[in-house]
Amino acid sequence: MTNETMANLLAPKALSALMDARRTVLPKRLVEPGPDAAQWQALLAAAATAPDHDQLLPWRLVLIDSSQREALGELFARALHERDAHATQAQSAQAREKAHRAPLLLMLVVDADKGDCSIDVSERLISAGCALQNMLLLASAMGYGSALTSGKALKSQVLRQAFGLRSGEQAVCFLSLGTMAHAKPGKPRPDGAALCSAWTPVAT
């Protein structure tokens, strides 16, 4: 696809406005309805356009269906007790409740061992991050709120075992999507000019 074709397909100002409008909406503020079947397929197609060195597909998404939220909640509670044997019942209940937030819940897994070992894990993580950003932007264009969340449970042995993660696989984060119950004002964006500097070689 040529640059001219891309320019005709995308209005730069509109795309820039979409990126600027995207905000994290905490999962507890995401309610039904979530994306429908057609929108879900479009979101997956957007993820598939992420850059991927040598087409390793070093990441995957795991959908946690509504019927599995109870089981995920139990995993969260067990993961809590794995790292804190003295966790209270209230803390366990709070851990379980987190599994029931947002209509659509996905877990991102990155594989450090898949394919060519010369392709560094940092490239694999960047590819996964680009896939998520594509999904976040498209979800915003569809009118949905979204959030990326992590937490200590992702590193727990009980979660790794329950999701069948191999030794080289890393559960990176959860992606939550849904309708915004209410939106909070977004935080100010950083100044773009402050994110870049010109290289000056250091004398040796």
Q: Does residue 4 sit in helix, strand or coil?
A: helix
Domain extent listing, the chain: 24-65+101-183
Tens digit of pLDDT at every position of the chain (204 positions): 555 655 566 688 888 999 999 999 999 999 999 999 999 999 999 999 999 999 999 999 999 999 999 999 999 999 999 999 999 999 999 999 999 999 999 999 999 999 888 899 999 999 999 999 999 999 999 999 999 999 999 999 999 999 999 999 999 999 999 999 987 777 888 999 999 999 999 998
As beta bridge partners, residue 31 has: 179
> Could you tell me the two tokens for 63?
């959908």
Q: Name residue, tokens 């139990």.
A: 74
Rounded Cα distance between 146 and 180, Å, is: 8
Rounding to the nearest 10 degrees, give the CA dihedral for residues 135, 138, 144, 149.
20
Options 3.30.70.100, 3.30.379.10, 3.30.565.10, 3.40.109.10; CATH for 24-65+101-183 is: 3.40.109.10
Type of residue found at 145:
G
Rounded Cα distance between 186 and 26, Å, is: 12
DSSP class of 163: T
Rounded Cα distance between 50 and 129, Å, is: 8
E strand or H helix at 159, and its extent?
A: helix 157-162
